[in-house]
Structure 1
Amino acid sequence: MAAASLVALLLTVLIIPLLSFLLIAAKRSSSRLQRGDGRRLPPSPPGGLPLLGHLHLLGRLPHRALGSMAASCGPVMLLRLGQVPTVVASSAAAAEEAMKTRDLAFASRPRLLMADRLYYGTRDMVFAPSGERWRQLRRVCVSRLLSPGRVLCFRAAREQEVAALLGRVRAAAAADGAAVVNLSELLITYSNAVISRATFGDGSYGLDGDDGGGGTKLRKVFGEFEELLGTVPMAEVVPWLWPVDVATGLERKARRTSEEIDRLLERVIADHRRRRRGARRVVGDGEDDRRDFVDVLLDLSETEEEVGGVQLDTVTIKATVVDMLVAGTDTSYSLLEWAMAELINHPTQMRKLQDEIRAAVAGGVTEDDLPRLPYLKAVIKETLRLHPPGPLLLPRETLEDTELQSYHVPARTRVVINAWAIGRDPDTWGENAEDFMPERFAADGEAEYQKMGLDFRFLPFGAGRRGCPGVGFAVPANELALASLLYHFDWEVPGGGRPAVVDMTEVNGLAVRLKKALLLVAKPWPR
């Protein structure tokens, strides 16, 4: 009994000071938000808890939870996620103000612990804080890696990988007695192959899956990388709960994954440097430029004046390469998967798109055919509206005290744009905002994707200074793959049941995707 009393006393002595310290820290966090000479802060949803704040309200699908909160609380909300004050914008007007009218004030990135671990201390372009180094690195990516000329250089690789995708579909259909194809797996392989060839060259280091088994392992590593990047460690929002990340294995998994990715990148860069010895030649304007991203970055690393003084050392090159790989794989795969799922569930729209493609194309789809397929572009835009790959755009951080929809937003506040909620806002899209209707984009003509950042009704690629610069690179690969799959095959759910419905349940990650693999019957056309 005495021992039990002693244990209770020790626990009391330890726990009470700890709780007092944590409550004081939480009050200080709240008081920082209140500073502003009485200026009005955004409203907060009910249900916040001491220390945790609104963290427990996010659930497994934060974009949906935040959308529900906004419906009752308003399009601009202030949440306390642990000790992190976070403003959430869920309307087109609020997004336009944050990413256009006051873009400079909202242009930085918060420090994200997982990105810091996986991106070499945010030495990349995507997660780097605002500043001269970030501006120059973005300029390098836009003008040297993702320019229209560079995109055109990879046309042959895209068409070859689409041909390989079609071959895998035919082989999978022939190998299965019921002709059922795991399209999700094939789309992952395709997306990996396209971006890895652009990044690493034809020596894709196993990411295309055609290396006798190693591709599966590497795709698994990159899958874990993307899963980790979509995870918020407890240490980030509630620092005193850092042991949770250790106990759950998150810290160990992050360390192991970052080390495996780093070994791959070191090998890639070493191989490129070895091949370049004695054969380096700067490609002039107008010449056939077949360099991959690594070669371009290595060229620039030797001419510092061309990159505005940014030191493109090996670490920066590795971080930039990871940007390209992650942005180009998961988002492209999820877009193609969602598009096929929506078309299966809407056979009238699928038939309309197939009729357009088959009337405009003879023998097989090439990139020359894509400008003649306006309904294809409308389908892709409608898919992006309903299923933006990153439903909560990468968070921003305010550089200074500013305003959003007349609410005061203090400096260094985290800001999240709920692109998913904006794309389904009935005030913008009407009562059928939840319905898949590509016809709503029919008036857009060729529907130039590069202009989507100017239309704040839906923001799959973000907008403003922090908008995604890789839209032009992603579009032809996605259009070509979707058009080819619909030209060469008729698709339906296994069993031929009616109605033909794909389970659209989501699973959260870096890109929100279907929870269950997309298993479909592929019937070659013409038969």
Structure 2
Amino acid sequence: MLGRRVFNDGNGGCDPKADEFKEMVLELMVLAGVFNISDFIPSLEWLDLQEVQAKMKKLHKQFDAFLTNIIEEHEASNYKNEKHKDLLLLKEETDDDGNKLTYIEIKNMFAAGKDTSSNDIPNLPYLQTVIKETFRLHPSTPLSLPRIASESCEIFGYHVPKSSTLLVNVWAIARDPKEWVDPLGFKPERFLLGGEKCDVDVKGNDFEVIPFGAGRRICVGMSLGLRMVQLLTATLAHSFDWELENGLNAEKKNKDEGYGLTLQRIVPLSVHPKPRLSPHVFSTLI
């Protein structure tokens, strides 16, 4: 996105600011998913008992200063004359309505993403169904980000007052037995031609599985996230054979999930890769 490396490549080619950025991202995920008393007792919100708001505001200032500095350094390096095209060049482009992106919107993309494509993915239909089924059972954001009801309304007999905070249980919807056959089973075939959900996608058009949300507030980074997961999964599956650590059987592996803004394992997955291609191929992959 920036034309510079921000992760350690093992040869000392690491941006010194990489650790700072990663720490801020991790802190953001923790704060956004923390159990906040004010969410359940709004009258106490002004007290900020757990200092969540104060920490969020401080983190926002750090993020903004960090990204502003990167953008200013990039502009000072006369990036327009570089052969490498990166995310900041989007500021010079206009959409069909003649509008240009602002730097505020570009900064937001660092937490989401922009569209990308890869030519091999359309030729791997079963891989796509595996990714869909994974997103169904384990959506990255089990509860959608909070929304505020703009008007009072009634949904399925429930009265929703104006200004209520609303959360959509994406995790539960995708496991609803009224919508899915054997909802707890991992069955990618359900998305193949002839399967029960062959016409269902995960891009917000089919409400029984919306890992990225839906409507106008759908995840900005959906296209990038979906393509990256597909591409990386295909590359790892093609390049290596995999075994669980210490010869552990997959059925005995702890699959419990932890509470938070993003869905994570309580016990991290630890596996051993075994190269299955010629050695020179892996240098190309890196």
TM bin (shorter chain): 0.7 to 0.9
Q: State whether structure 2 residue 241 is matched by structure 1 residue 456.
A: no
- Kept in 1, the 8 Å contact 2:174–2:209? The answer is yes
Following superposition, the deviation at residue 272 of structure 1 comes to 2.7
User: Tell me, what secondary structure is at the counterpart of 1:443?
Assistant: coil
Q: Give the Cα separation in 2 of the matches to 1:441 and 1:519.
A: 28
Q: Is the alpha carbon distance of 1:211 and 1:444 closer, same or farther for their aligned partners in structure 2, counting shifts above 3 Å?
A: farther
| Alpha-carbon displacement from aligned partner over 1:107-137 (angstroms, at most 9, x marks no partner) | xxxxxxxxxxxxxxxxxxxxxxxxxxxxxxx
Letter in 1 for 2:22: R
Partner in structure 2 of residue 264 of structure 1: 66
User: Tell me, what secondary structure is at the counterpart of 1:491?
Assistant: strand
| Alpha-carbon displacement from aligned partner over 1:393-428 (angstroms, at most 9, x marks no partner) | 122222223221243323222222111001001111
Partner in structure 1 of residue 30 of structure 2: 227
User: Tell me, what secondary structure is at the counterpart of 2:193?
Assistant: helix
Counterpart selection for 1:380 from 107, 131, 147: 131
RCO comparison, higher one (Cα < 8 Å, 6+): 1
Letter in 2 for 1:453: G
Q: State whether structure 2 residue 191 is matched by structure 1 residue 441.
A: yes
Q: Give the Cα separation in 2 of the matches to 1:416 and 1:243.
A: 21
User: Tell me, what secondary structure is at the counterpart of 1:245?
Assistant: coil
Following superposition, the deviation at residue 522 of structure 1 comes to 0.9
Q: Give the Cα separation in 2 of the matches to 1:251 and 1:413.
A: 19
- Kept in 2, the 8 Å contact 1:493–1:501? The answer is no
Q: Give the Cα separation in 1 of the matches to 2:194 and 2:65.
A: 46
Letter in 1 for 2:72: A
Partner in structure 2 of residue 398 of structure 1: 149
Following superposition, the deviation at residue 233 of structure 1 comes to 4.1
- Equivalent residues in 2 for 1:173-252 (5 A)? 198=1, 201-204=2-5, 206-207=6-7, 210-211=13-14, 214-231=17-34, 233-235=36-38, 237-240=41-44, 242=47, 244-246=49-51, 250=52
- Equivalent residues in 2 for 1:109-508 (5 A)? 198=1, 201-204=2-5, 206-207=6-7, 210-211=13-14, 214-231=17-34, 233-235=36-38, 237-240=41-44, 242=47, 244-246=49-51, 250=52, 253-276=55-78, 279=80, 291-297=85-91, 299=92, 306-307=98-99, 312=102, 317-318=103-104, 320-328=105-113, 367-430=118-181, 432-443=182-193, 452-499=203-250, 501-508=252-259
5+ residue gaps in structure 1?
1-197, 282-287, 330-365
Following superposition, the deviation at residue 521 of structure 1 comes to 1.2
Identity %: 29
| Alpha-carbon displacement from aligned partner over 1:450-500 (angstroms, at most 9, x marks no partner) | 664221111111112222243322222211110111111111111213355
Q: Give the Cα separation in 2 of the matches to 1:227 and 1:371.
A: 35
Q: Is the alpha carbon distance of 1:461 and 1:494 closer, same or farther for their aligned partners in structure 2, counting shifts above 3 Å?
A: same
- Kept in 1, the 8 Å contact 2:254–2:267? The answer is yes
Q: Give the Cα separation in 1 of the matches to 2:44 and 2:206.
A: 41
Which is greater in Rg? 1
| Alpha-carbon displacement from aligned partner over 1:348-386 (angstroms, at most 9, x marks no partner) | xxxxxxxxxxxxxxxxxx933221111100100000100
Q: Give the Cα separation in 2 of the matches to 1:230 and 1:328.
A: 21
Following superposition, the deviation at residue 275 of structure 1 comes to 3.0
- Kept in 2, the 8 Å contact 1:449–1:471? The answer is no
RMSD: 3.4
User: Tell me, what secondary structure is at the counterpart of 1:426?
Assistant: coil
Q: Is the alpha carbon distance of 1:444 and 1:300 closer, same or farther for their aligned partners in structure 2, counting shifts above 3 Å?
A: farther
Following superposition, the deviation at residue 226 of structure 1 comes to 2.2
| Alpha-carbon displacement from aligned partner over 1:198-250 (angstroms, at most 9, x marks no partner) | 2xx2124x35674166423321221112222223644454443625224xxx4
Letter in 2 for 1:459: I
Q: Give the Cα separation in 2 of the matches to 1:394 and 1:328.
A: 17
Q: Is the alpha carbon distance of 1:487 and 1:496 closer, same or farther for their aligned partners in structure 2, counting shifts above 3 Å?
A: same
Q: Give the Cα separation in 2 of the matches to 1:321 and 1:229.
A: 21
- Kept in 2, the 8 Å contact 1:493–1:500? The answer is no
Q: Is the alpha carbon distance of 1:488 and 1:398 closer, same or farther for their aligned partners in structure 2, counting shifts above 3 Å?
A: same
Q: Is the alpha carbon distance of 1:388 and 1:444 closer, same or farther for their aligned partners in structure 2, counting shifts above 3 Å?
A: farther
Q: Give the Cα separation in 2 of the matches to 1:503 and 1:383.
A: 17
5+ residue gaps in structure 2?
279-286
Partner in structure 2 of residue 521 of structure 1: 272
Following superposition, the deviation at residue 501 of structure 1 comes to 3.8
Q: Is the alpha carbon distance of 1:202 and 1:263 closer, same or farther for their aligned partners in structure 2, counting shifts above 3 Å?
A: same
Q: TM-score, normalised by structure 2?
A: 0.78
